[in-house]
Amino acid sequence: MSPARHRRRPHRPVSAREERRRIAFRLFQKHTPKATIARQLGVSYVTVWRWEERWRTEGADGWKEHLHPGSERRLSPRDQKDLLTRLKRGARASGYSTDLWTLKRVAEVIRKEYGVEYTLSGVWRVLRALGLSAQVPLTIALERDERYIRKWVRSVWPEILDRARRTRATLLFVDESGIQTSPNVRRSWAREGSRPVLRSKSSREKVVVISGVSADGELYFDLFDHDMTGTEVIWFLERLLEEIPGRVLVVWDNGGIHRCVEVNTFAWLNRERLELRRFPPYAPELNPDEGIWDVIKNDKLANYCPKTLAELQARVDWELRLLKLSPHRVRNAMRQSGLDWQRTQAVAPAIA
C-alpha cells in the first residue's frame, strides 16, 4: 500500500481566540466564577457570559470556530454572457409589457433563468461589470416599422437628394411644434438635500410654430396662437414659394394636416415649382428640423416663465429670428439627424 494512504490530514491550527475559549470551557466545568475567568484570560465579563451561553447550548466542543460556507453562488462568466444577450433583446422578449429594464426586472430574470439571488445593489454591480449604464431611453412608437425606415434611408433618401440636384430645387425639411406657457423646467434652487417639488397647473395656452430649414442653414418659420390646420400650412408654403426662387422640394412627416385635401390641392396647382415628399412614419429623428426645436425648447427657453401668451410668442419669435441670422448654428442643430449628412452637404451648392 502506498505510504500516501497512511498520511493523516493535517489538523487546522488552533487560533489564539479558540485557545482562550477552550480554557474558558474547562473552567466552566469547574464552576469557576465568570469574573475570575475574565480576569485570567484578559477579556471582558460580557465575552465570558457569551462563551458560557455557547458552552451550555453547543457542548464541550463549542469552543471551535464555526465554519463559514462562503459567499452565495454568483453568475458564471457563461451566465453573464447569456444575460447580456437577453438584455439586448429587450424586456418584452422576457415576458414584460414594455422594453424598460429596471434593476428589479433584471433581478427577477436572474433568479428565474439562473437560480441566483441578487440584491438590487448587486444587480447594479453586475450590470456595470457587463459594460452597461443607466441611460435615458428614446421613446419609440410601437407602430414604428424599423425595416421600412432602413429601406427609406438606404434607397428613398438618396433618390430625394438626386432629384433635388437634377431639378436644382431647394431642399427644405419642415416640421411643426407647440411651445406651452408652462415652463420647460431644467433645474431649480432649493436647500441642499431637499429636492424641490413644483406644483404646476396644466395650461392649454401655447404658441404653435411651423418651420423649415434648408441644407445650407436657411431658416423659415411662422407662429400661430392656435392649433394649425391645412390653411395655415398653405400660408407657410405660399411664403416659401415667394421667398425662395425656383423649385422647392419639401420633406416632412405624415401628419394629418400635411395630407389634407387643401394641401394636396395646393401642391397640385403649384406642381411646377413645389414638390412634397414624406419621411417614414414615426421616425422624427430623421428630420433635421427637430434639432431646431431642441435648441429652442431645451436651451433658449429652458426655465423660461412667461406671464402671458403674448409674452411667450414674442420671445419665441425673437429667438427664432436670432437663430435665423446664424446659418452655422442652424447647421449645427441639424446635425442630430439620422440622415447621411455628408451627402446632403455635398449637393448643397447645387441646391442653393
User: What is residue 220's three-state secondary structure?
Assistant: strand
Q: Is residue 172 part of a domain?
A: yes
| Number of domains comprising the chain | 3
Mean pLDDT across the stretch 68-88? 80
For residues 303 and 255, the model is more confident at 255
Mean pLDDT across the stretch 260-265? 94
Q: Name the pLDDT band for 302 (thresholds 50, 70, 90).
A: confident
Whether 167 and 272 share a structural domain? yes
Sheet holding 274-278: strands in order across? 219-224, 206-214, 170-180, 248-252, 274-278
- CATH assignment of the domain containing 157: 3.30.420.10
Residue identified by cell 448587486 is 122
Q: Count other Cβ atoms within 10 Å, centred on residue 33.
A: 10
With a cut of 70, say whether residue 7 has pLDDT above it: no
Q: Is residue 235 part of a domain?
A: yes
Whether 211 and 278 share a structural domain? yes
Cα-Cα-Cα-Cα dihedral sign, residues 263, 269, 270, 272? positive
Whether 154 and 36 share a structural domain? no
Whether 225 and 88 share a structural domain? no
What is the domain extent for residue 285?
Answer: 146-185+203-351
Q: Name the pLDDT band for 262 (thresholds 50, 70, 90).
A: very high
Degrees (nearest 5) of the Cα angle 269, 270, 273? Answer: 160
Q: Is residue 7 part of a domain?
A: no
Q: Name the pLDDT band for 9 (thresholds 50, 70, 90).
A: very low
Whether 33 and 108 share a structural domain? no
What is the pLDDT at residue 4?
43
Integer Cα distance of 206 and 313 in angstroms? 8
Integer Cα distance of 316 and 310 in angstroms? 10
Task: Say if CB 244 and CB 171 are below 8 A apart.
Answer: no
With a cut of 70, say whether residue 24 has pLDDT above it: yes
Task: For 279-326, give the DSSP string.
Answer: PPTT-GGG-TTHHHHHHIIIIITBT---SSHHHHHHHHHHHHHHHHT-
Cell of 63: 469552543
Whether 289 and 173 share a structural domain? yes
With a cut of 50, say whether residue 350 has pLDDT above it: no
With a cut of 60, say whether residue 352 has pLDDT above it: no
With a cut of 80, say whether residue 338 has pLDDT above it: no
Q: Is residue 20 part of a domain?
A: yes
Whether 180 and 309 share a structural domain? yes
Mean pLDDT across the stretch 157-185? 87
What is the pLDDT at residue 247?
94
Q: Is residue 6 part of a domain?
A: no
Closest to 220 (Cα-Cα) out of 351, 349, 327, 148: 327
Whether 27 and 116 share a structural domain? no
The one-letter code for the residue type at 118 is Y
Cell of 237: 408654403
Closest to 213 (Cα-Cα) out of 326, 55, 109: 326
What is the pLDDT at residue 275?
95
First vs last C-alpha separation in the chain: 98
What is the pLDDT at residue 31?
87
Integer Cα distance of 46 and 49 in angstroms? 5
| DSSP-assigned beta bridge partners for residue 278 | 252
Whether 50 and 153 share a structural domain? no
Q: Name the pLDDT band for 261 (thresholds 50, 70, 90).
A: very high
Whether 342 and 313 share a structural domain? yes
Whether 33 and 103 share a structural domain? no
Using CA atoms in the order 222, 226, 231, 234, what is the torsion angle rounded to 10 degrees?
20
232: which DSSP letter?
H
Whether 153 and 220 share a structural domain? yes
What is the pLDDT at residue 8?
46
For residues 59 and 159, the model is more confident at 159
User: 26-30, 47-51, 191-195, 242-246 — which is least confidently predicted?
Assistant: 191-195
pLDDT digits (tens, 9 = 90+) for 32-62: 898 898 888 888 888 888 888 888 888 877 7
Tell me what the pLDDT averaged over the chain comes to: 83
Q: Is residue 175 part of a domain?
A: yes
Q: Is residue 30 part of a domain?
A: yes
Q: Is residue 139 part of a domain?
A: no
Cell of 8: 493523516
Q: Which pTM was predicted?
A: 0.60
